[in-house]
Structure 1
Amino acid sequence: MSEYDGAGKRRAEKPRGWMRRHWVGVSIASVLSVVLIGSATYALGLMGSLGDIDKVQGGASIKPENRPDPAPGQALNILVLGADAEADGNNNKSSIKADLGSDGRWKEGRIHRSDTIMVAHISADRKNVSVVSIPRDSYVTIYDETGEPRGEDKVNAAFANYGPAGAISTVEHITDLRMDHMVIMDWDGFQDMTEAVGGVRVYIPETFYDSSQKVTWEEGWHKLKGKKALQYVRTRYGLSDGDFSRIQRQQNFIRLLLKKMMSGANVSNPISLQKTVSSVANNLTIDEGFDTGTITDLAWNLRGVSVDNVDFMTVPTAGYDTANGQSIVRLDEAKGEDLWRMVRNDRVKKYLRLNPDAAKLGTETEVS
């Protein structure tokens, strides 16, 4: 895990079918912290729906000396959070924005959990997109909304205790990467997206029982949407490797959902397209700096990137452990340093060549 040597000391290394191929740089976090980079059609639709998208303060409250330097060149790092909307006391009716006070922390009686966390890196030349998952049980130093350390806990405690800015600062300390933008989508948004595209077809290799959600998953092909799709990506009980298997499922589901959203049948159908755009806009929260100009520029500059070009991986880990009476995941600090350094220098492709197993959780074949 990357840690700063002292206040103000930062590492800086020098190193940047038409409709279905034109992408927009809008990263959308759903329950599984999905990164969606849609076609130009979605860009235009979202432009018309910006009034429906909540905006919150990002990392502005973090003290400058507690942040890494911005990425060299024009590379972008986006923190993607999938938030549980069932905040204590709000009966699942209030938004992320409505639950935040002026200080960037949750109002009394409100709390949201970021059970899925990803860092989306867009290279300076806009030719590559990589997505790195951070397991929610990763045991790290938690930082508050000003970037000050608040002890060790599971990484998802940063968002729950200190709001969006706390999550940003904590991930910045893990990665030594400046988070340029942040996007959050609640669980309802994910359900709505899968409903809008008519469901996503997945294969379950063997029958198993999820004791937490009380669902039996039968071997074979399934078309999942709405609540069932949400249950699928939330499942970790009954899987062979718990949260790691869940991350694999989530990454696989991202690809399938993206392909369905970008399909000619969906893009050319105005009703389906509008439902998809609305499902995104109505459930999305972004930082105040993620404005129309930024979105438009990314839509144009990422036009040559396709779903299959996105590299999915998980931060290197050192296995399970226990701390303070809870099951945790230890991060592999040395290997993590290598990964984040490569990300920082736009060398992700080289990292994957040197570490061919790094992307194994993002393969298209599910392993339970």
Structure 2
Amino acid sequence: MSDYDGAGKRRAEKPRGWVRRHWVATTLLAALALVLVGTSAYALNMLNSFGKIDKVATGALKEENRPDPAPGEALNILVLGADAEADGNNNSSSIKADLDEDGRWKDGRIHRSDTIMVAHVSADRSRVSVISIPRDSYVTIYDEKGEPRGENKINAAFADYGPNGAISTVEHLTNLRLDHLVIMDWDGFRDMTQAVGGVRVYIPETFYDTSQKVEWEKGWHKLKGKRALQYVRTRYGLGDGDFDRIKRQQNFIRLLLKKMMSSENISNPISLQKTVSSVAKHLTIDEEFSVSTITDLAWNMKGLNVDEVDFMTVPLAPIRFGKDANGQSIVNLDEEKGKDLWRMVRNDRVKRYLRLNPDVTKLGSETEVS
């Protein structure tokens, strides 16, 4: 039985302009680079590179176990940053190669998703909101068919039940129908920073990352390749652990987008092709994406700029940290405030939510990020 009241009632009536809801949002680490195709140059290059993008089936999810599509023309995309290798299993193959036709992982294959975001594109295509969900958030996990499998950290959904499990778990958490899925592995993020010649970031205080054995000195740094990857994956040595890492990832995406959308990069055909190729090579999307939808997105979002992207984190409980029955550290979400946020997202009223909640955890200025 579905967890959603009235599930399926509206499915027979596709909203007007339904085709426009299904365009591809290419991305970087978190596929926020749906803004990428905001220029005709990127759109054209994406058309040429589209055949290289892996697609995965999402049809195993039962319709009765999914929320109804949101009314209107807004779009919601689940964005995952994935490891190609997890827990020493020497798994270097792609997401698609490790999935059976029913969407289950093949025996012995596991990928982790340490970055989980919901990207909401407003109906008028004038704004994008990116909401991060901490990987240790303690929630009910759902499998690839949308059936409950007990409580765990949210990143267990992807590791145990693949892309469909991640979709279903986030949909049940948010009561939000996810229109599309975009996954980028960390190698793609590394290659993209290399393609644009690096990104300049500011580190407010000197600290040492005990896990990666890297010291980060206070001041401005130009990061690319492996060094950029180390920066966004750092959480040891930061004052607020994984929450500071989320801020870093969001900030780096913001800065990387600015670099990718700069006239310097767009006007350079070699740099442009390298950037787009680095996206396509390491990207996995759901099977409903098509070439024709890319051009539609480019047209509808051609005026969007990076300053019109809001970054925030899902509301957290007053006591943010806890332990599960096995003694694992977990993150506690604020269920009531979370319902308010996701309801506003569903109704395409994120701007109003931000006005009513001025204390919401948003991304600060570039020099304030730890």
Q: TM-score of the superposition, structure 2-length normalised? A: 0.91
Residues 309 and 6 from structure 1, CA distance in 2 versus in 1: closer, same or farther, beyond 3 angstroms? closer
CA contact under 8 A between 1:11 and 1:68: conserved in structure 2?
Answer: no
- Matched-pair identity in %: 75
Range that drifts further, 299-308 or 228-237: 299-308
CA contact under 8 A between 1:251 and 1:361: conserved in structure 2?
Answer: yes
Q: Which residue of 1 aligns with 2:333?
A: 331
Residues 316 and 142 from structure 1, CA distance in 2 versus in 1: closer, same or farther, beyond 3 angstroms? same
Q: Which residue of 2 aligns with 1:124?
A: 123
What are the Cα deviations for residues 49-101 of structure 1, in whole angstroms up to 9, with x where unaligned?
1111011112x111111100001122111000000111467735311110111
Q: Which residue of 2 aligns with 1:357?
A: 359
Task: Find the residue that maps to 1:50 and give its secondary structure.
Answer: helix
Task: Find the residue that maps to 2:136 and give its secondary structure.
Answer: coil
Q: Which residue of 1 aligns with 2:323?
A: 322
Instruction: Give the distance between the partners of 1:362 and 1:99, measured in 2 at CA.
Output: 38
Instruction: Give the distance between the partners of 1:83 and 1:130, measured in 2 at CA.
Output: 21
What are the Cα deviations for residues 237-263 of structure 1, in whole angstroms up to 9, with x where unaligned?
111111111111111111100000011
Instruction: Give the distance between the partners of 1:152 and 1:127, measured in 2 at CA.
Output: 37
Range that drifts further, 102-111 or 156-165: 102-111
Q: Which residue of 2 aligns with 1:150?
A: 149
C-alpha deviation, 1:7, in angstroms = 7.7
C-alpha deviation, 1:296, in angstroms = 1.6
Range that drifts further, 290-299 or 258-267: 290-299
Instruction: Give the distance between the partners of 2:323 and 2:88, measured in 1 at CA.
Output: 30
C-alpha deviation, 1:367, in angstroms = 3.5
Q: Which residue of 1 aligns with 2:215?
A: 216
Range that drifts further, 333-342 or 34-43: 34-43
CA contact under 8 A between 2:202 and 2:366: conserved in structure 1?
Answer: no
Instruction: Give the distance between the partners of 1:26 and 1:172, measured in 2 at CA.
Output: 19
Runs of 5+ unmatched residues, structure 2: 11-15, 17-22
Q: Which residue of 1 aligns with 2:186?
A: 187
Residues 320 and 34 from structure 1, CA distance in 2 versus in 1: closer, same or farther, beyond 3 angstroms? farther
What are the Cα deviations for residues 107-135 of structure 1, in whole angstroms up to 9, with x where unaligned?
11211001000001111222221111000
Task: Find the residue that maps to 1:48 and give its secondary structure.
Answer: helix
Instruction: Give the distance between the partners of 2:152 and 2:364, measured in 1 at CA.
Output: 26
C-alpha deviation, 1:10, in angstroms = 7.7
CA contact under 8 A between 2:45 and 2:276: conserved in structure 1?
Answer: yes
Q: Which residue of 2 aligns with 1:21?
A: none
CA contact under 8 A between 2:209 and 2:215: conserved in structure 1?
Answer: yes
CA contact under 8 A between 2:25 and 2:31: conserved in structure 1?
Answer: no
Residues 205 and 6 from structure 1, CA distance in 2 versus in 1: closer, same or farther, beyond 3 angstroms? closer
AA matched with 1:154: K
Equivalences, count: 354
AA matched with 1:317: L
Root-mean-square deviation (CA, aligned residues, Å) is: 2.1
CA contact under 8 A between 2:26 and 2:279: conserved in structure 1?
Answer: no
CA contact under 8 A between 2:57 and 2:101: conserved in structure 1?
Answer: no
CA contact under 8 A between 1:196 and 1:276: conserved in structure 2?
Answer: yes
AA matched with 2:245: R
C-alpha deviation, 1:27, in angstroms = 3.8
Q: Which residue of 2 aligns with 1:309?
A: 308
AA matched with 1:358: V
What are the Cα deviations for residues 6-26 of structure 1, in whole angstroms up to 9, with x where unaligned?
6865899xxx9xxxxxxx952
Residues 296 and 146 from structure 1, CA distance in 2 versus in 1: closer, same or farther, beyond 3 angstroms? same
What are the Cα deviations for residues 177-212 of structure 1, in whole angstroms up to 9, with x where unaligned?
111100101010000000000000011111101111
Matched, 1:133 2:132: yes
What are the Cα deviations for residues 246-303 of structure 1, in whole angstroms up to 9, with x where unaligned?
1111111111000000111111111111110110010101100011122221111111
Task: Find the residue that maps to 2:150 and give its secondary structure.
Answer: strand
Q: Which residue of 2 aligns with 1:53?
A: 53
C-alpha deviation, 1:361, in angstroms = 3.2
Residues 98 and 87 from structure 1, CA distance in 2 versus in 1: closer, same or farther, beyond 3 angstroms? farther
Q: Which residue of 1 aligns with 2:13?
A: none
Q: TM-score of the superposition, structure 1-length normalised? A: 0.91
AA matched with 1:126: R
What are the Cα deviations for residues 18-48 of structure 1, in whole angstroms up to 9, with x where unaligned?
xxxxxx9524252xx2511213211111110
Matched, 1:35 2:46: no
Note the 1:34-113 alignment, pairs <5 A: 34-36=31-33, 37-38=35-36, 39-58=39-58, 60-87=59-86, 91-113=90-112
Instruction: Give the distance between the partners of 1:314 and 1:363, measured in 2 at CA.
Output: 15
